[in-house]
Structure 1
Amino acid sequence: MLADAAPPGFYAPDPYQERWLWVGVALVGLVMLWYGFVWWATRERPLRQVPGPGTTIEALRRDYLRQIDAVLRRARSGDVSDRQAHQQLSVLVRHFVQEMSGIAAPTMTLTDLTESGDRLVTVAETVATLYPGEFGTHRAETLEGSAALARQVVTGWS
């Protein structure tokens, strides 16, 4: 027979234990879960078109106008420099636009804002006016004028 033909000292391989099958299945499952999580965490989410629940547009406008006034008060009292105040005004304008429209204005450069179309023209002009106050070595625009432009964007956005 065949068993008689095998050379002496030859042993057939031991079969795998059943637990290794389940370990392999669990590892494949974990890899699939990982890919699912990565897909879910990085998917493109729909843009929010209206302010959050319970927030009216007028309440949002009042809140941003109050924050603009607070920036002016802090600059007048000397708590922040004119440069910092210009930066804060720019941040406020960009975040207001994002909350009102869902457009990612806080992460857009001035070029991005300018090339975004008609909807962001006033925002791009306001940010362009604020840039010298934020980054320039000289005062290009008074802080009150910059705050007036920021108020104009907040009150005029539709």
Structure 2
Amino acid sequence: MRAGVEVLAVDLPEEFTGPVGYADRWVWIAVGLAVALVVYYVLAWWLTRAPRRPALARPGVALPDVRQQHLARIDRIEAEVVAGRITARDGHQQLSEVVRDYVAAVTTLPARTMALADFRGRAPVALVEVLELVYPPEFAPDDAIAHDLFETAVDRARGLVATWSPTRSAA
């Protein structure tokens, strides 16, 4: 049988040759295409993922002390509005200032200079809800809306300052 194989190999015409390997460039083209595909998917994932929110908590702040100071300020504002020394509209403006000051003291947000739209984009929901309650009466032309919403605004501001912590807030 071996002889038969040799005879076949010898009997083949000259135009037939043995197996030929592929050129190296085709292997490198295939590897390059595979790498390009992987890079494409990695870039697509990287560039379309949700941005990371920076840490809000300001390091080195004595939260209980800051909290007590701001709660005392809210109590003073409430007492002045109830006594009639300031209008409810001014009370809303001062509540907004106290809440912003508290947030600026315990977080890295520049709360004193942010507009409501900025808060909606960057701040936690609990903070935005309080500011959304305080803003309309703060800028209303008459004092009726401010007077009607003042107690609710005081309760919500007090609740935010008393319970909110930037380390466990969800934006």
User: Would you say same fold, with TM above 0.5?
Assistant: yes
Match of 1:49 in 2: 58
Equivalent residue in structure 2 for 1:75, among 72, 81, 86:
81
Cα offset, 1:120, TM superposition: 2.1
CA contact (8 A) 1:95 1:105 kept: yes
Letter in 2 for 1:156: T
Q: Which segments of 5 or more consecutive residues in structure 1 lack a partner in the other structure? A: 1-46
Match of 1:100 in 2: 106
Identity %: 31
Q: TM-score, normalised by structure 2?
A: 0.58
C-alpha distance in structure 1 between counterparts of 2:79 and 2:60, whole Å = 27
Letter in 2 for 1:148: D
Equivalent residue in structure 2 for 1:126, among 130, 137, 140:
130
Q: Which segments of 5 or more consecutive residues in structure 2 lack a partner in the other structure? A: 1-55, 166-171
CA RMSD of aligned residues (A): 1.9
Distance 1:79 1:95, change over 3 A: same
C-alpha distance in structure 2 between counterparts of 1:150 and 1:48, whole Å = 19
C-alpha distance in structure 2 between counterparts of 1:132 and 1:151, whole Å = 18
Match of 1:65 in 2: 71
Letter in 1 for 2:58: Q
C-alpha distance in structure 2 between counterparts of 1:86 and 1:51, whole Å = 30
Letter in 1 for 2:154: A
Q: TM-score, normalised by structure 1?
A: 0.62
SS of aligned partner of 1:80: coil
Larger Cα Rg: Structure 1 or Structure 2?
Answer: 2
SS of aligned partner of 1:142: helix
Moved over 3 A (4+): none
C-alpha distance in structure 1 between counterparts of 2:59 and 2:159, whole Å = 20
C-alpha distance in structure 2 between counterparts of 1:60 and 1:73, whole Å = 20
C-alpha distance in structure 2 between counterparts of 1:105 and 1:155, whole Å = 18
C-alpha distance in structure 2 between counterparts of 1:59 and 1:48, whole Å = 15
Match of 1:113 in 2: 119
Cα offset, 1:127, TM superposition: 0.6
